[in-house]
């Protein structure tokens, strides 16, 4: 079953290719540990680019490039006032990615259910008698 296309505020549907491109951008942005860390630092805070850059052992220009990837993915909003640039977290694109990932959680749940059943079966097997001293006899194959 194909998911329904998203709609813009204007009511116009977003083409499915746009949804896929946005997901590609989000997952590309999340693939880098520096960018994930920037998102964590922005959680609940609006920070200057210079404040974000201070936490890394890379140039201000490199941090700015990471921020631009996050902005293009729709994960960060950047407000400029002259030479000052303040960044804040935007969760809409992250929510869309989480919804996409959640479609596949049923497969993980099936794996966990199978594991739980297997462990319950193992626990229900009769245990060999213990030797004096608490050691079990070796299992025979």
pLDDT in tens, 63-115: 999 999 999 999 999 999 988 899 999 988 999 899 888 888 888 888 888 88
Give the whole-angstrom CA distance, residue 55 versus residue 42: 12
Q: What is the DSSP letter of 31?
A: T
Sign of CA dihedral 45, 51, 54, 25: positive
Give the whole-angstrom CA distance, residue 119 versus residue 33: 35
Adjacent-strand bridge partners of 47: 87
**Six token digits for residue 50:** 């210079």
Say how many domains are in the chain.
Answer: 1
Say if 107 falls within a structural domain: no
**Six token digits for residue 15:** 């083409």
* pLDDT at residue 13 tops 80: no
Adjacent-strand bridge partners of 107: none
* pLDDT at residue 28 tops 90: yes
Say if 50 falls within a structural domain: yes
Give the whole-angstrom CA distance, residue 84 versus residue 48: 7
> For tokens 């880098």, what's the residue?
32
Say if 56 falls within a structural domain: yes
Say if 80 falls within a structural domain: yes
pLDDT reported for residue 52: 94
H or E element that contains 69: helix 60-72
Say if 23 falls within a structural domain: yes
Say if 116 falls within a structural domain: no
The helix/strand/coil state of 76 is strand
The domain of 52 spans 16-95
CATH number of the domain bearing residue 75: 1.10.10.10
Say if 82 falls within a structural domain: yes
Say if 26 falls within a structural domain: yes
């Amino acid at each position: 079953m194909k998911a329904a296309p998203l709609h813009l505020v204007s009511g116009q549907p977003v083409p499915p290719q746009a949804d896929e491109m946005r997901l590609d951008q989000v997952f590309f942005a999340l693939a880098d540990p520096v960018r994930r860390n920037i998102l964590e630092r922005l959680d609940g805070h609006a920070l200057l680019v210079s404040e974000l850059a201070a936490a890394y052992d890379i140039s201000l220009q490199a941090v700015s490039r990471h921020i631009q990837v996050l902005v293009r993915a729709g994960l960060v909003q950047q407000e400029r006032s002259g030479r000052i640039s303040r960044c804040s977290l935007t969760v809409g694109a992250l929510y869309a990615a989480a919804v996409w990932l959640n479609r596949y959680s049923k497969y993980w749940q099936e794996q966990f259910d199978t594991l739980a059943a297997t462990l319950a079966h193992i626990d229900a097997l009769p245990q060999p008698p213990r030797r004096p001293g608490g050691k079990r006899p070796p299992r025979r194959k």
